[in-house]
A = this chain, B = another copy of it.
Amino acid sequence: MENSNSCITCVSPNCFLKLCSNEWIQLIEGHKTETSYEKGQYVFNAGDLVNGLYFVKRGKIKVVSNGLNNKEHIVRLATDGHVLGHRGFGGETYPISAIAMDDSVICFVDNETISKAFFHNPHFTVKLMLFYSEELRGIEARMTYLAQMTVRDRVAFALLYLKDVFGYNSSGEILNANITRADIADICGTNVEQVIRNLTDFEKEKLVAKEGKKIRITNEEGLRQMLVIYNFKFVPKMHFIS
């Protein structure tokens, strides 16, 4: 509950809520809760009835789907400005959870308020729709990689995906996320051992450098080149506000 709780003075530059009229922003503020999550904490859990939208103010979130014996699979990574918790329909629930990968701050607005806002803030609604449309395109592409790539190439892909969403940290080309080998495995749809084996190979090939559990990408272009045979290309980030 840091900062003020007001959208007007909120420092998050990409929040969709800012696309609402001032009048509506004030109205939404009355129905908004801002919560801080520690690393590892659940934003929402599989089976919960998601009855609102989560707007990521700041942080790093993994959206996981629970499959075989509730083993987690990371279907999406989210960061500042992204939206979590698709509007629920008819009360059915999907086995999808959102977990903070680092300390994060997220605003929640209930469905009723959001629905009303949709009908009075076309700019907000349209941009949010375009966000979903973009996410759909992105996941369609990732799905193909998952289906067709070898484990080795999926590991390379996961590193680039992490970089494209979370970027590097201040000290250079180190992946800016508190990820374990197991997280990478959960993105790739493989197991920890395979991830480690391939990271070791990548290190020998001077593509990455392991620094403890941190990973430094020493040859990003080389990783991308590995994936051109799959039509892989960088997915430019959407500019939410325009």
Contact = CB atoms under 8 A, between A and B. Distances in A.
A55 to B, nearest CB: 15
Contacts of A118: 122, 125-126, 129
A96 interface: yes
Nearest to A53: B133
Interface in A163-190: 188-189
B231 A67 contact: yes
A68 B130 contact: no
A18 interface: no
A85 B90 CA distance: 26
Contacts of A144: 65-67, 73, 75
Interface stretch (A36-44, A145-153, A197-205): A145-153
Interface of A: 63, 65-71, 73, 75-76, 86-87, 89-90, 92, 94-96, 115, 118-120, 122-123, 125-126, 128-130, 132-137, 139-149, 188-189, 229-231, 236, 238
A29 B59 CA distance: 45
* Nearest 5 interchain pairs by C-beta: A147-B189, A132-B132, A65-B144, A129-B129, A86-B133
B68 A134 contact: no
Contacts of A89: 130, 134, 236, 238
B146 A95 contact: no
A150 to B, nearest CB: 9
B87 A147 contact: no
A199 to B, nearest CB: 19
A148 B67 contact: yes
Nearest to A133: B86
